[in-house]
Amino acid sequence: MSEVTNESEKGSHFIRQIIVKDLEQGKKQGKSVVVQTRFPPEPNGYLHIGHAKSICLNFGMAEQFQGHCNLRFDDTNPEKESQDYIESIIEDIRWLGFKWQNNVKYASDYFDQLYQFALALIKAGKAYVCSLPAEDIRTYRGTLTEAGRVSPYRNRTVEENLALFEAMRQGQYQEAEHVLRAKIDMAAGNINLRDPVLYRIRYAQHHQTGNKWCVYPMYDYTHCVSDALEGITHSLCTLEFEDHRPLYDWILDQLDVPCHPQQIEFARLNLNYTVTSKRKLKQLVDEGVVQSWDDPRMPTISGMRRRGYSAASIRNFCHAIGVAKANSVVDMEMLEFAVRDDLDKSALRVMCVLNPIKLVITNYPEGQQEWLKAPCHPKLDLGYRQIPFMREVYIEADDFSEQPPPKYFRLAPGKEVRLRYGYVVRCEAVIKDETSGQVTEIHCTYDADTLGKKPQGRKVKGVIHWVPVDQALPCQVRLYDRLFLEAEPTQLDCDNPRSFLEKLNPESLRVLLCSYIEPYVRQVKPETCFQFERLGYFCADRWDCRPDNLVFNRTVSLRDGWAKVKG
């Protein structure tokens, strides 16, 4: 089961209430019910934040009721699936802190049984081979207000259907030449019951079964039968499957399966300022809008991991938004709050200067160096780090202004600030480039009696961070922001599938190549998260960061700054 012990789905919601009622009913009838759920991703892309909610719910419910949760890949569409996607999904679930019951399962594990069940439907007169072209099948289905039309092939004999279906399996027909359809009701109010397709012909190499099969079952047929074969008690799905539930039940009612699971639908997670459609995410990758599926701007679990989101923060976020019956859009700020809240408790503190400008302390002895003591975390007993202090340091260019606005508490000509954990300095002079007029150096004097003490007779309100010029480590810093400028980038894009690309945020990534950080992080390991003091939370890049090439990704700022942008 899960390694998670403190963020499980403990809140009361309608799915939990259903399970509690089922268990109570079982006890009244003298039955011992073991809750069995499953998480059934299709390996046609990387998992995203919406899947994280489903993972937390399925594994959380099983854990809470001392049951089991299966990981089962819905691998019925080999043309769009790959082993890379399978491996990424397995790693994401493990990283989130969950374990599944027994071995990883695949829908393809049941292909032989599914085929035999299909034969049983044909023999019972509940399925037939249809030879209509795909477009005609869609047309014959009718509309929400008009009943469908019966296929001219609906009344084929059992013997003819068995022979055709076996010939389909043997590869004697071309793709789309025939399909196997359920025989239900072409006048049903629910279009899903109007003789849905159960099998189609596909000549594609399958990542698990190779070339054994050239007929593949449809999801609606595979899903319910796989659930039944695994003894699933509660099949938790998102709301788009609500209209498919009658078909789920119909198929199981026709077959001799071990059990009849209960399908329950819940609202999927929709997050603003991003997209959670696998098709659109794949488009972003394929067209080079982002670098990869795990680009830190992506809402994929691997992308959020690379950006520096912790597994605990994602679990806490999923728990906080709850489980509902109606779809809604969750504000990105809620996710970022969960990330900040978790990192504030665990991230070590360091100083990093993103846009450096040199500050020379003219009255500090040349060649002298002293070590200043700074806590690794202000609230936890994680020890101290030593920061070398000397005559020349780097500060943020933004922390100096020649013509400061009112209430400016940083450095300016004639003004004083405290260098964090160090001395109070006063700006005495400014050195500029003769050609551009840009400030290249700031000359200050320091008050030697202000280390760990307030200056005598005056108040110094400003505190700025710094790093020593001679011992600071060069690093690359990637400043990530929201991928889209609009809260709902896919709104009204039905007629133009590329319209969401017109709403991309051109500032979603800025790369700073000349930043400097404390020598304390010299041996940093990838995925280590820090709070860069006064700047935000940053993570050592999972793939690119190493001791001789420090690369940090901005995970999230110290506070929400997007409201200003939106305003």
Whether residue 502 sits in one domain with residue 457: no
- For residues 466 and 516, the answer to whether their CB atoms sit within 8 Å is no
Q: What per-residue confidence (pLDDT) applies to 563?
A: 52
- The low-confidence residues of the chain, meaning pLDDT below 70, are 1-11, 492-495, 561-567
Q: What are phi and psi of 459, to 5 degrees?
A: -105, 135
* Number of domain units in the chain: 3
Q: What per-residue confidence (pLDDT) applies to 28?
A: 81
Strand order in the sheet with 197-201: 127-130, 179-182, 197-201, 215-217
Plot region of 367 (φ>0 → left; ψ -120 to 50 → alpha; else → beta):
left
Q: Which of 241, 266, 291 is the last residue of a domain?
A: 266
Q: Which of 303, 302, 300, 308 is nearest to 555 (CA)?
A: 308
Whether residue 255 sits in one domain with residue 170: yes
Report the distance separating Cα 157 and Cα 267, nearest Å. Answer: 43
Q: What is residue 435's DSSP assignment?
A: T
CATH number, residue 66: 3.40.50.620
Report the distance separating Cα 257 and Cα 22, nearest Å. Answer: 20
CATH number, residue 559: 2.40.240.10
Structure tokens, 544? 């690119």
Tell me if residue 42 is catalytic: yes
Q: What per-residue confidence (pLDDT) applies to 388?
A: 98
Whether residue 292 sits in one domain with residue 396: no
Whether residue 108 sits in one domain with residue 223: yes
Tell me if residue 268 is catalytic: yes
Whether residue 344 sits in one domain with residue 378: no
Q: Which of 229, 233, 222, 221 is nearest to 258 (CA)?
A: 229
The pLDDT tens digits for 125-173 are: 999 999 999 999 999 999 999 999 999 999 999 999 999 999 999 999 9
Report the distance separating Cα 475 and Cα 384, nearest Å. Answer: 22
Question: Of 42, 160, 166, 486, which is the active-site residue?
Answer: 42
Whether residue 375 sits in one domain with residue 332: no
CA quadruple 340, 3, 57, 539: dihedral sign: positive
The alpha helices in 437-492, defined as continuous H runs, are: none
Characterize the bridge pairing of strands 328-330 and 269-271: parallel
Question: Of 16, 38, 53, 278, which is the active-site residue?
Answer: 278
Q: What per-residue confidence (pLDDT) applies to 7?
A: 41
CA atoms within 13 A on the CB side of 173: 20
Whether 273 maps to a domain, the answer reads: no
Q: Which of 366, 517, 396 is nearest to 462 (CA)?
A: 396
**Count of beta carbons in the 10 Å neighbourhood of residue 367:** 7
Q: Which of 464, 489, 522 is the last residue of a domain?
A: 464
Write down how long the chain is.
567
Whether 272 maps to a domain, the answer reads: no
Domain, as residue range, for 394:
356-464
Q: What is the DSSP string of 354-411?
A: SSEEEEEETTSPTT--EEEEEES-SSS---EEEEEE-SEEEEEGGGB-SSPPTT--SB
- For residues 499 and 493, the answer to whether their CB atoms sit within 8 Å is yes
> Which residues, including other chains, have CB under 8 Å from residue 25's CB and lie 6 or more apart?
none
Whether residue 402 sits in one domain with residue 491: no
- Grouping H, G, I as helix, E, B as strand and the rest as coil, residue 144 is coil
> Which residues, including other chains, have CB under 8 Å from residue 290's CB and lie 6 or more apart?
284, 297, 298, 483
The alpha helices in 79-199, defined as continuous H runs, are: 83-96, 111-123, 134-140, 158-169
Interhelix angle 111-123/158-169, rounded to 10 degrees, is 160
Whether 470 maps to a domain, the answer reads: no
- For residues 375 and 444, the answer to whether their CB atoms sit within 8 Å is no
Whether residue 118 sits in one domain with residue 31: yes
Report the distance separating Cα 415 and Cα 197, nearest Å. Answer: 77
Q: What are phi and psi of 487, to 5 degrees?
A: -65, -35
**Count of beta carbons in the 10 Å neighbourhood of residue 172:** 13
Q: How far is CA 484 from the centre of its chain?
A: 16
Whether 469 maps to a domain, the answer reads: no
Characterize the bridge pairing of strands 356-361 and 392-396: antiparallel
C-alpha torsion 416→418→423→429, nearest 10: -40
Report the distance separating Cα 206 and Cα 142, nearest Å. Answer: 33
Q: What are phi and psi of 136, to 5 degrees?
A: -70, -35
Q: Which of 208, 241, 266 is the last residue of a domain?
A: 266
Q: What is residue 404's DSSP assignment?
A: P
The pLDDT tens digits for 497-518 are: 788 999 999 999 999 999 999 9
Q: Which of 420, 348, 335 is nearest to 380 (CA)?
A: 348
Q: Please name the residue that has the structure tokens 């504000």.
A: 331
Question: Of 202, 268, 410, 546, which is the active-site residue?
Answer: 268
Report the distance separating Cα 329 and Cα 51, nearest Å. Answer: 15
Whether residue 136 sits in one domain with residue 90: yes
Determine the residue type at 524: V
Tell me if residue 87 is catalytic: no
Report the distance separating Cα 164 and Cα 147, nearest Å. Answer: 28
Whether 109 maps to a domain, the answer reads: yes
pTM for the complete prediction?
0.94
Q: Which of 226, 256, 221 is nearest to 123 (CA)?
A: 256
Q: Which of 49, 516, 556, 562 is nearest to 344 (CA)?
A: 556
> Which residues, including other chains, have CB under 8 Å from residue 470's CB and lie 6 or more apart?
388, 390, 392
Whether 271 maps to a domain, the answer reads: no
Say if residue 417 is exposed, middle or buried (CB neighbours under 10 Å; 0-12, 13-18, 19+).
Answer: buried
Whether 7 maps to a domain, the answer reads: no
Report the distance separating Cα 35 and Cα 31, nearest Å. Answer: 12
Whether residue 109 sits in one domain with residue 27: yes
Characterize the bridge pairing of strands 68-73 and 473-480: unpaired
Q: What is residue 545's DSSP assignment?
A: -
Whether 490 maps to a domain, the answer reads: yes
Report the distance separating Cα 442 and Cα 426, nearest Å. Answer: 10
Whether residue 148 sits in one domain with residue 78: yes
Whether residue 106 sits in one domain with residue 78: yes
